[in-house]
Each structure stands twice: as structure tokens, then as C-alpha cells.
Amino acid sequence: MPQAKATSRIFLGALAALLCAPVLAATTVVTADRMLDVLAGRMVDKPAVVVVDGRIRAVLAQGDAAIPKDAGRIDLSGQTLLPGLVDMHVHLASDATIDGYRELDYTDAFWVAVGVANARAMLEAGFTTVRNVGSRGYADVGIKQAVDAGYVPGPRIVPATYALGSTGGHCDGTEGLPPSFAPVATPSVADGPEGFRKLVRTVHKYGAEVIKICATGGVLSRTDAPGAQQMSFEEIKAAVDEAHRLGLKVAAHAHGLSGINDCLRAGCDTIEHASLANEESFALAKAHGAWFSMDIYDDDYILAEGRKNGMFEESLAKERAIGLKQRQTFRAAYAAGVKMIFGTDNGGVFPAGQNALQFATMVQWGMPPLEAIRAATRNAAQALGREGDVGAIEVGRYGDFVAVQGDPLQDVRLLEHPTAVIKGGERVK
Ligand SMILES: [Zn+2]
């Protein structure tokens, strides 16, 4: 009997292979004039990338005999192909044009609908993967599920769910409201190491794939100071240890120096904003292998549009005090050799889909175009721990691409106007 069983299993296996392989395998060949190999740091002429069932099967030269003849074709002649971009700091379920108390005009589910629109805008802007570092009500998990199931278009989403922080801190959802308005139980606020341990476990239970903590004050919250530390070292450490035990990385919102340095000592994987970091922070980041995710474009938008959007006067004053300093820190951190990823705060701070505006700011403040592009591809994939999936045009990774007209290493602003976007081998723009 065991032999008969084994035989029938082999037969079924062969039958399944026969039925499935030729029928289900969707093969697409993407061709362009040039391709940016972000791993090698060079342009490749006349590439032909073969994508089978959503993943890259081969990276060939045009005319290669191994290119499948009967495959679908995406011909991007005259264009430059790059890996799909990754934004490591977005807020899908936010609207940058609705700030301050104006947010109270809307019911909770409104923000999920906003998130659906924002997901599409970011995808069509060439961002085929986004890390969503904070939204309420598990909106990002729901949007991710709807995108993955094909209900709505959107990038690959790495959800953090709630951003976790202390009572009255930057990520306390009812900060800025009187006591009688608050606190509805939300899994975003805790005090003490055990409290943070429990929050990490809770958001992980409900779909978080990365943990976001708020270690210092922020700009868009009304009542706190960006430089002020809002989680103790012990609280940060508890959150990090618990997250790492669960296999999750930790993104730490930190503007102020002591908060940044405690986050680095506690093992946070990415420092968001990093505005007031100094030489000691740079050394700690390098020693611990942490990444800086610095949203240095935002200052332009906040100072130009913030008041019109209803942003708190307090927030505008904080931005004026910290915006330029953050850009100077960015330049110094990059020069010191701190590893950088591309994170913008898009969706939350400036309109969804304008993510690529930050490339030019990064170049203006000292980063060569290739490194700015790597921050949004190769480096982002490393910081996510998903080098097998995204961040480069390489065999095995998803067939995610963005194309531009011209050479983005000469003019990084070309990324603001992608001519084509492909996700999993399917053209979405
Ligand atoms: Zn943010």
C-alpha cells in the first residue's frame, strides 16, 4: 500500500505540473532602452526582463535566444527602467490637506476611504512598496488586504497599524483635546515597559508587520516639543525586544537628541526624522547598523501650505524651528556614513503620490542621485528585511518597475513623472 500511495502521489504531482505550468504561468517580457542596476550601481543597455507569475525569472539582453517567444510584452523603448520605488514612511489613511481640528469633521471610516485613494496615487507615482508607519483603526491592514485581494489598486503595504507612544505624547490620538473628549481605549498609548510590551503584542496580533514607536515629541501634534523625549530607555527597550522576538523591525519616530540616541542604544532599526541627531548619534547608528529615514522635503510643503490646510499655529512654529536644522543634519549624517533610506511622511504631511519630490531635496542636500535612488530601492529592501522580494531588478524578486524618460542619474526629478509603473509584471500605469 505505501508503494501504491507513493506512486499515486507522483502521478498526481505530474498531472498537477502538466495542468498548472503552461496554463497558469503568466509570462511577461519587459524591454527598455536602459536599466538601472541599483546593486551594481550602473546602467545596463537594452535589457529584457522576464517576469513569470509576478517574479523576475531572468534578466537578459534584448535579442537573447532565451527570451520566451509567446510571452506578453511591455515595450518601454526610449525609456529607462528602474526597480519599483519604496517609501519607508507614509501615512495612507491621512489627508495632508486636512490638518489640525479639521480632522474632527470626519468619521473614522472616512480615513479608510482616503487610504484607498492614497494607495492608488502612491502606486501610480512609482511606489510599488510602502511602509505605513501609523494609522488608526487598523486601516492599513484592511487596505493591504483589499490591495492583495485585487479589490483596489495599491502598492505592497507593510503596515505598522497604530503608532505607539506614551500618554500625552506625539502618538496619543487624543492629544490636544480636553479630558472630556478622551481617551477612548486605543492600542496606541502605554506607560511603562510592560505596557509597551503589551501594545507590541496587541498590534502584532492584529496585523502589524513593523512596529512604530514615538520616542520624542513631534511637529504636527499640538502640545509637545519635538526635542522632548517621551519614552524612557526602558520603555523603548521593552518595545524593541518584544518586536524583535516576534520577528518585527522597529521604526522610531525621534526628533530630539536624547530620544534618538536611546532608540539607537535600544536597537531600533530605523530612526524616523532624526532632526536633532549629532555626531554621537551618527556613531551609534553605524555601530548598531540602524538606518536614518529623514523626511526632508516636508519643510517646503508645510511652510507653504500648512496654514491653509488648518495646521496648528504651534506646529507651524515648530516646523520653522526644526526644518532647516533637519536638512543640515541629513547632510552631516550622510557625509558621516550613516545608512539612509527614503522616507517622506507622504500622505500625512504632503499630498499622496508626490513622494518623489523628496529625491531632489536629498540631492540638493548632498546625496548623489544614485544614492538617493538606492535609499528608495536597495537600502529600503534591506531595512525591511525583504531583499528577496523588492528593491532591485534581480532574479527572484517581484517584477516591480518604474520607467522614466531620460537618465535619472543626471536628473533625479525625472522620477517625479514616471512614464510607466509595473507591479508584479502587470502594467498599472
Ligand atoms: Zn509620520
- Distance (angstroms) between ligand 1 centre and the Cα of 220 equals 9
Distance CA 373, CA 164 (A): 30
- Distance (angstroms) between ligand 1 centre and the Cα of 293 equals 10
* Chain centroid to CA 201: 22
- Distance (angstroms) between ligand 1 centre and the Cα of 134 equals 7
Cβ neighbours for 107, distance < 8 A, ≥ 6 positions apart: none
- Distance (angstroms) between ligand 1 centre and the Cα of 14 equals 50
Q: For residue 153, what is its C-alpha cell?
A: 489598486
> What pLDDT shows up at residue 1?
38
- Distance (angstroms) between ligand 1 centre and the Cα of 92 equals 10
- Distance (angstroms) between ligand 1 centre and the Cα of 345 equals 5
Per-residue pLDDT of the chain (429 residues; tens, 9 = 90+): 344 444 455 444 444 444 444 445 799 999 999 999 999 999 999 999 999 999 999 999 999 999 999 999 999 999 999 999 999 999 999 999 999 999 999 999 999 999 999 999 999 999 999 999 999 999 999 999 999 999 999 999 999 999 999 998 999 888 888 888 876 667 899 999 999 999 999 999 999 999 999 999 999 888 888 999 999 999 999 999 999 999 999 999 999 999 999 999 999 999 999 999 999 999 999 999 999 999 999 999 999 999 999 999 999 999 999 999 999 999 999 999 999 999 999 999 999 999 999 999 999 999 999 999 999 999 999 999 999 999 999 999 999 999 999 999 999 999 999 999 999 999 999
Q: For residue 238, what is its C-alpha cell?
A: 521593552
Closest C-alpha to 348, from 140, 85, 52, 45:
140
- Distance (angstroms) between ligand 1 centre and the Cα of 284 equals 23
Q: For residue 91, what is its C-alpha cell?
A: 501615512
* 226-229 long-range contacts, CB within 8 A, separation 24+: 226/255, 226/256, 226/275, 226/276, 226/318, 226/321, 226/322, 227/255, 227/256, 227/257, 227/276, 228/256, 228/259, 229/256, 229/258, 229/259, 229/262
> What pLDDT shows up at residue 32?
98
> What pLDDT shows up at residue 187?
84
Angle at 208 between CA 121 and CA 237, to 5 degrees: 125
- Distance (angstroms) between ligand 1 centre and the Cα of 219 equals 10
* Strand partners of residue 164: 213
Give the number of other Cβ atoms within 10 Å of residue 11's Cβ.
Answer: 10
CB-CB contact of 207 with 159 (8 Å): yes
- Distance (angstroms) between ligand 1 centre and the Cα of 348 equals 7
- Distance (angstroms) between ligand 1 centre and the Cα of 140 equals 14
* Strand partners of residue 421: 402
Closest C-alpha to 355, from 341, 365, 334:
341
> What pLDDT shows up at residue 328?
98
> What pLDDT shows up at residue 223?
85
> What pLDDT shows up at residue 184?
67
- Distance (angstroms) between ligand 1 centre and the Cα of 314 equals 17
- Distance (angstroms) between ligand 1 centre and the Cα of 29 equals 37
DSSP letter for each residue of 191-236: -SHHHHHHHHHHHHHTT-SEEEEE-B--SSSSSS-TTSB-S-HHHH
- Distance (angstroms) between ligand 1 centre and the Cα of 253 equals 7
- Distance (angstroms) between ligand 1 centre and the Cα of 130 equals 12
What predicted TM-score, i.e. pTM, was given to this entire model?
0.93
- Distance (angstroms) between ligand 1 centre and the Cα of 133 equals 6
Give the number of other Cβ atoms within 10 Å of residue 332's Cβ.
Answer: 17
- Distance (angstroms) between ligand 1 centre and the Cα of 40 equals 31
- Distance (angstroms) between ligand 1 centre and the Cα of 272 equals 8
Q: For residue 183, what is its C-alpha cell?
A: 481617551
